[in-house]
Amino acid sequence: MHTSLPLPVDRGDRRRGLQLLAGIALFILAQAVMMLVARLVPTGWGLLLGACAGALVALVGLLVIVGPLGGRPGLTLHGPGRLAELGLGLALGVGLISLSVGVIALFGGYRITGLEASPQLLVPLAMGVGAGVVEEVVFRGVLLRVLDAWLGSWAALALSSLLFGLIHLTNPGASLITALALVIEAGILLGAAYLLTRRLWLAIGLHIAWNTVQAGIFSSAVSGTGRQNGLLNAQMHGPAWLTGGEMGIEGSLVSVLLGLAAGVVMLVLAARRGRLLPPVRGERARRTLEARVARSR
């Protein structure tokens, strides 16, 4: 089918090494902006403003990386259906976390005791927006996209998921077990969301909802950053493999398995649509892959 839009597979880029270096610099810059704004406005609003500022820096930086630096490969942020993908990601994130809590509650690991009189919703929202945009821009928009062309989709997914888990070892209360949980759960899930659409909006929506709902609704810690006071007062009982322990709900084996299952479903869909590809070896191979993707649409 003829279309004026670029193909949804990011394989026509250049200066990939520089893109990776720029992505690292962008991650540091966005984090610095978030912390600076949060210190200038030391309230929950400051955290949210900082998260929004960092997210804006990340998105603008990505447009520079894939534009003037990379030669505008694929879609990444562009094309029709962006709001639909973002909305689907938000709904899927809410659904996965809520289902996880429901299953944990069935096994006696989570019990609601009432409503929080003074819920702190700005902090969870800031955690969702900041991590949901900045981390997706760097780990999926830059790292996974570039590695996908160099190594192929499967190797790129494995390596980017591993690095995504390892970077969270810097969080309070983190361990190799919790990092592995994030590799299996969030790394694969969010990477699959990108590979399915070859765009970031589905992954961004998933990540924002995943963090925000854990903390803002269910009063859980997020990636070991401490328990939050969300809308629900709740007690958690049982072993860490069930409740997630200091990691929060996402550290539960229930969440890991549900996230992995959703990721596998998206990978199957991506494979059927011709979105999982081997590495690019020269211009002729690139043209062959683009023709293959065009036929699959």
Which value, to the nearest 10 degrees, does the dihedral of the CA atoms of residues 155, 160, 166, 168 take? -150
Measured from the Cβ of residue 104, the count of other Cβ atoms closer than 10 Å reads 23
Residue 296's pLDDT band, with cuts at 50, 70 and 90, is: low
Task: State residue 43's pLDDT score.
Answer: 81
Asked if residue 233 belongs to a domain, the reply is yes
pLDDT-based confidence at residue 7 (cuts at 50, 70, 90): low
Q: Is residue 96 part of a domain?
A: yes
- Residue pair 4/124 in contact (Cβ under 8 Å)? The answer is no
The count of domains in the chain is 1
Compute the radius of gyration of the chain from its Cα atoms. Answer: 19
Domain that holds residue 189: 80-296
Q: What mean pLDDT is predicted for residues 102-112?
A: 95
- The answer, yes or no, to whether residue 36 has pLDDT greater than 60, is yes
What confidence score (pLDDT) does residue 67 get? Answer: 87
Flag whether pLDDT at 119 surpasses 90: no
Place of tokens 């810097």: 170
Q: Does residue 10 sit within a domain?
A: no
260 vs 290 pLDDT, higher one:
260
Does pLDDT of 2 surpass 50? no
Is pLDDT above 70 for 146?
yes
Q: What is the mean pLDDT of the chain?
A: 87
Query: Which of these, 156, 108, 121, 112, lies nearest to 9 by C-alpha position?
Result: 156
Q: Could you tell me the pTM of the whole model?
A: 0.89
Q: What is the pLDDT of residues 204-218, one digit of tens each?
A: 999 999 999 999 999
pLDDT value of position 105 = 96
pLDDT at 297 over 60: no
For residue 68, what pLDDT is reported? 87
- Domain membership of residue 162 (yes or no) is yes
Q: pLDDT above 70 covers what percent of the chain?
A: 89
In angstroms, the CA 176 to CA 28 distance is 23
Of the candidates 66, 86, 123, the residue with the CA atom closest to the CA atom of residue 207: 86
What is d(CA 92, CA 192) in angstroms, rounded to the nearest whole number? Answer: 13
Q: What is the 3-state secondary structure (H, E, C) of 215-247?
A: HHCCCCCECCCCCCCCCEEEEECCCHHHHCHHH
Identify whether 126 is part of a domain: yes
Amino acid in position 223 = S
Give 139's pLDDT tier (boundaries 50, 70, 90): very high
Q: Sign of torsion, CA 135 193 165 230?
A: positive
48 within some domain: no
DSSP alpha helix (H) spans, the chain: 16-40, 44-64, 82-106, 122-136, 145-151, 153-167, 176-182, 188-197, 201-216, 240-243, 253-272, 282-296
Would residue 184 count as lying in a domain? yes
The string of pLDDT tens digits covering residues 66-104 is 988 888 766 788 888 899 999 999 999 999 999 999 999
Is 193 within the bounds of a domain? yes
Give the pLDDT confidence of 219-246 residue by residue, as tens digits. Answer: 998 887 777 888 999 889 999 899 988 8
Distances in whole angstroms, Cα of residue 123 to Cα of each of 45, 137, 208, 215: 8, 21, 12, 8
The answer to whether the beta carbons of residues 270 and 276 sit under 8 Å apart is yes
